[in-house]
Structure 1
Amino acid sequence: MFPLLVTIVVIALIFDYINGFHDAANSIATIVSTKVLSPFQAVLWAAFWNAIAYFIFTDHKVANTIANTIKPEFIDLHVILAGLIAAICWNLLTWWFGIPSSSSHTLIGGFIGAAFAKVGSLSVIVYSNLFKTVLFIFLSPLIGMFIAFFFNILVAWICRKANPYKAERWFKRLQLISSAALSLGHGGNDAQKVMGLITVAIAVYHNNGSIPPDTKDLLHHMPEWVPAACYCAIGLGTMSGGWKIVKTMGSRITKVTSLEGFTAETSAAATLMIAERMGIPVSTTHTITGAIMGVGATKRLSAVRWGVTLSLVWAWVLTIPVSAVLAAIVYWISRTIAHFA
């Protein structure tokens, strides 16, 4: 069992690394598109703040939600492994095609699909946790959009008499702060998702294939190296970039100025941090997309390329079911191999 546990930990950290470069575009797209930082400078900036989140988000509420998406009696190492592999596959596929899908929901879908494959019943799901996660698939972009819409109007009104050249220069400086806040929120929300699975996997190993009925206590005794490794992995992944998605987020949805980049990033960061305090695993992708739509809509509704946005929505809706199917297939394959091994 120990080699399987080590495999899960390594694959989980690989998932965090991929999450970093897959979602790096979310926190740096606007700052690159407004030419505040070069792409290389931007990924270093984002990676730094991803790692700093380790010292700020210590309650691990999001990790708890992920760990409790499936009822404990249906969790084993093969379920966790299959969920992670499926999540990685979907992340890489959407990254390849430049689609900013959600790493969070990919992981949840994979976890559910693998558990379903084990027992053949949807009774494996803790529906209260799944419901609030699915609800925020739709709410997080809407919240980001509405906050950004009104915040952008407010900031533009406050600065209506400012010298355009000076205002542009100041907002480029402020974008350094807003992008840092967004990267901080990204690290704090996203790195926790794998922490929960690694901690549960360790518990399963130490309890000979089973875990206590309540996994909440497990997360209060999480080994210190788990969050440290997860934040480092996501930071290193962010440094690897994700330029296909940068193009989609930074220019294809709507063109943004420095002022709009600042308000979009600030609004998205606020949404992420509120969700983290509530223990809800939301998508950085969904949130910043909604915020960019919000600032675009302040100019005119036609300023937002709604056709691009619609294709992103389809990717969001499909993420959990597709990941679940992939995980079920991986689980059946892994169990078949284990049976004949």
Structure 2
Amino acid sequence: MTTALVLVLAVILTALVFEYINGFHDTANSIATVVATKVLNPTQAVVLAASMNLIGALAGTAVAKTISSGLIDAEVVVVSSQLIICALSGGIVWNLITWWFGLPSSSSHALIGGLIGAALAAAGNNFDVLIWSRVAEDWTKSQGIFWKVIVPMISSPVAGFFLGLVMMGTLMAVISAMNGAGGWIARISRPRWVNALFGKAQIFSAGYMGFAHGTNDAQKTMGIIALALIGAESAGTLDNLPSWLAFMHPGDSEGIETWIVVTCALVMAAGTAAGGWRIIKTLGHKMVKLHPIHGFAAETSSATILTLAAHFGMPVSTTHSISTAIMGVGVAKNPRALRWSVIQKIVWAWILTIPASGGLAWLMFKGLEALGWT
């Protein structure tokens, strides 16, 4: 087994470690509300999230293609196994730091920041290595950091907040109107009936959230693994693979192999089961007290944003969309119900994620370079 092949295997292993950590860091966000409202227990929520993640992951590869080819210019720098390992490691370290403190920062942006930092280090701080903006006639097909990272990074939290606010406000208005109608209509608008109805509805919204998470987050690591395998195939690293590793040959450079999709989805589910409770508590309990109707509104709002973003190949943060949707729901319920000190910590985690993970990845690559391992 050659050194180059060992490095490719190390990339895959590191990517799966990132996906595992993404599981207990980000997938926790997708099930936080349904657990907090006690509609499902954690085990049931994990099973639902894992199943829908898998289905969502199989639904498309637009986000994976953005990660693998839309941010870093391969003509300026060689996208080596070492670069990818450093990018992933930068994201992993930052995710672990924020997980330890229970802060739902974005694994998506941690990965993107890691890619940017490692690529800059490999290119000798030549910023031309970054694809800033490539405008297409159809703006939804534009490429680069501006269109695929900055625009959705700003727009998705705003959209999440207002969609959550509008949906919750609409539901409250309908219930209020029913309550004023009198008779049996008023009776079914009482809290007991509302909680029972939306307790059932939230199972649907939680499944929708899991599906949306799969269409977006699960694809990011798939893109990294696919990028590593395509590069290895081009370099001839996979020419003499042993039979038990023959599945590593990329069948189509435009697609993502099924084994990558399934493996990433399963590893993410395992991570969810392992340690997401810290972040579930922050989102589901500390920001605002949630009932099933609030969870339904937040999940449906967030999942809609994620699904639309995945359609356009935008690696949107699940954390941002669900957190701001919960904020919007909380404001509709009662602005004073929000715990602004917790929100302030979350916002700072958002702001710091890309530069922090990028800085870590940059330092890691420079360390390898100093040791002559690049």
TM-score, normalising length from structure 1? 0.92
Residue 103 (structure 1) shift: 0.5
SS in 1 for 2:235: coil
**Which amino acid counterpart does residue 43 of structure 2 have in structure 1?**
F
Q: How far apart are 1:146 and its partner, in Å? A: 0.6
The Cα RMSD (Å) is 1.8
Q: 1:208 aligns with which of 235, 238, 241?
A: 235
1:220 aligned to 245, 254, 257, which one?
254
**Matched residue, 2:215:** 188
Q: Which residue of 2 aligns with 1:93?
A: 97
Cα distance, 1:241 vs. partner? 3.9
Q: Which moved more, 1:66-75 or 1:315-324?
A: 66-75
Identity %: 41
Indicate conservation of the 8 Å contact 1:91/1:103, yes or no.
yes
Alignment of 1:300-319 (within 5 A): 300-319=334-353
Structure 1 residues 80 and 166: CA distance shift in structure 2, 3 A: same
Which residue identity does 1:69 align to in structure 2? L
**Does the 8 A contact of 1:171 with 1:259 survive in 2?**
yes
Q: Is the 8 A contact 1:43 1:241 kept in 2?
A: no
Q: Does the C-alpha gap of structure 1 residues 166 and 221 become closer, same or farther in structure 2, counting only changes over 3 Å? A: closer
Larger Rg: 2
1:106 pairs with 2:94: no
Equivalent pair of 2:57/2:216 in contact (CA under 8 Å): no
* 1:22 paired to 2:25: yes
> Post-superposition shift, 1:159?
2.7
Q: CA deviation at 1:45?
A: 2.0
Write the letter of the residue equivalent to 1:155.
Answer: L
**Residue identity in the other structure for 2:201:** L
Give the conservation status (yes or no) of the 8 Å contact 1:24–1:241.
Answer: no
Q: Which residue of 1 aligns with 2:54?
A: 51
Q: Is the 8 A contact 2:108 2:315 kept in 1?
A: yes
1:327 is the counterpart of 2:361: yes
Give 1:150's match in structure 2, choosing from 152, 166, 191.
Answer: 166
CA deviation after TM superposition for structure 1 residue 293, in Å: 0.4
- Whole-Å Cα distance in 1 between the matches of residues 203 and 253 of structure 2? 33
Contact 2:161 2:325 (8 Å CA) reproduced:
yes
Query: In terms of mean alpha carbon deviation, does 174-183 or 124-133 score higher?
Result: 124-133
Read off the aligned partner of 1:131 and give its amino acid letter.
Answer: F
Note the C-alpha offset of 1:157: 2.2
Q: 2:35 aligns to what?
A: 32
CA distance in 2, matches of 1:222, 1:165: 47
Q: Displacement, 1:25?
A: 2.2
Aligned equivalents of 2:192 and 2:282: distance in 1?
28
In 2, Cα distance between equivalents of 1:117 and 1:255? 44
Map 1:158-197 onto structure 2 (within 5 A).
158-160=174-176, 161=178, 162-197=189-224
- Secondary structure (helix, strand or coil) at the match of 1:98 reads coil
Task: Report the Cα distance in structure 2 between the residues aligned to 1:37 and 1:203, rounded to whole angstroms.
Answer: 41
Q: For residues 66 and 299 of structure 1, do their structure 2 counterparts lie closer, same or farther at Cα, with a shift above 3 Å needed?
A: same
Q: Are 1:62 and 2:63 matched, yes or no?
A: yes
2:145 is equivalent to residue 130 of structure 1: yes
Q: For each residue in 1:42-81, what CA deviation from the matched residue of structure 2 results, as whole angstroms up to 9, or x when unmatched?
A: 22222222122233x22x1111111121001212221111
Shift of 1:302: 2.0
Counterparts in 2 of 1:230 and 1:157: CA distance versus 1, 3 Å? same
**Structure-2 separation of matches of 1:10 and 1:222:** 17
> Cα distance 1:9–1:85, how it changes in 2: closer, same or farther (>3 A)?
same
Match of 2:155 among 128, 139, 145: 139
Query: Match for residue 72 of structure 1?
Result: 74
Contact 2:50 2:265 in 1 (8 A): no
The offset of 1:218, in angstroms, is: 6.3
3-state DSSP class of the match of 1:142?
helix
User: Is 1:200–1:218's contact at 8 Å kept on the other side of the alignment?
Assistant: no
Kept after mapping to 1: 8 A contact 2:230/2:253: no
Residue type at the aligned position of 1:152: M
Q: Gaps spanning 5+ residues in structure 2: where?
A: 134-143, 179-188, 238-250
**Equivalent residues of 2:21, 2:92 under 8 A apart:** yes
Q: CA deviation at 1:240?
A: 2.1
Which letter does structure 1 place at the counterpart of 2:317? S
Q: Which runs of 4+ in 1 moved over 4 A?
A: none
CA distance in structure 2 between the partners assigned to 1:339 and 1:244 by the alignment = 37
Residues 174 and 156 (structure 1 numbering): CA distance in 2 closer, same or farther, change over 3 Å? same
Q: How much has 1:339 moved relative to structure 2?
A: 4.2
Unaligned runs of 5+ in 1: 211-216
1:219 Cα deviation from its structure 2 partner? 4.7
SS for the counterpart of 2:321 is helix
Asked if 1:121 corresponds to 2:126, the answer is yes
Q: Distance in 2 between matches of 1:20 and 1:44?
A: 13
Code of the residue aligned with 1:79 in structure 2: it is: L
Per-residue Cα deviation, 1:222-254 (whole angstroms, up to 9, x for no partner): 333222221222122222241111111011111
Deviations 1:245-293 (A, max 9, x none): 1111011111122111111111011011011111100110100011000
TM-score of the pair, normalised by structure 2? 0.85
Q: Is the 8 A contact 1:78 1:335 kept in 2?
A: no
Structure 2 equivalent of residue 274 of structure 1: 308
